[in-house]
Amino acid sequence: MSDHPARPPHPTDGDILDVVDAHNQVIGQATRREVHAQGLMHRSVHVFLLNPHGHLYIQQRAADKDTFPGAHDSSAAGHVDAGEGYHEAAARELREELGLAPGQISHMMQVGELGASAENGWEHVRFYLARTGHTPVPDPAEVAHGAFYPLDRVEDLIASPACHFAPTFRILYLFYATQLAPKVASGEIFGP
């Protein structure tokens, strides 16, 4: 008998995901619930969405999410469905979580990746930057709150004990702040 009560079923538990090996090669498929329960390696995307001023959209995850409920996180993030490409998954997550259609995103590019580890939930993560001049309309089932923040404000939020951030966001934000934000500010990424 487990010391932890079983969590109630989540609507996405039955989603079929590709199970991958340490080299990110597909070796099978399993439901989302099985992947998480068994600690199987799988794929995900994280998108940092910027407005024309270079402000970063931070979301607070809905309180009933099964992983990191109520935590602050990347602008949009999610699993890559079985047979789906990373880029397609990133565009889908922007649409599902933030209500932004592909035509409302002026640029989207992969800027990094993380290998699967215990720290990131055994996910092979592809990291994207995207830019929009449109206002996101978050799905309340996915996102409790979201807003664009200048980077100094993001730093304040991360430093605040009152704000909890998802672990993968913290890893990606450090890379973004040190390696990518200066390139965004100079116009090297996205142009002027």
65 — pLDDT class (breaks 50, 70, 90): confident
Q: Which two tokens stand for residue 84?
A: 């789906």
pLDDT digits (tens, 9 = 90+) for 72-120: 999 999 999 999 999 999 999 999 999 999 999 999 999 999 999 999 9
Among 81, 67, 192, 65, residue whose Cα is nearest residue 139:
65
Report yes or no on 118 lying in a domain.
yes
**Is 167 contained in some domain?**
yes
pLDDT digits (tens, 9 = 90+) for 114-160: 999 999 999 999 999 999 999 999 999 999 999 999 999 999 999 99
| CATH for 59 | 3.90.79.10
Position 71 in a domain: yes
E-only strand ranges, 36-122? 42-50, 56-61, 72-73, 76-79, 107-114
**Overall pTM surpassing 0.85 (yes/no):** yes
CB 62 within 8 A of CB 69: yes
The reply to whether 64 falls in a domain is yes
pLDDT greater than 60 at residue 10: no
DSSP 53: T
Q: Which domain holds residue 153?
A: 44-186
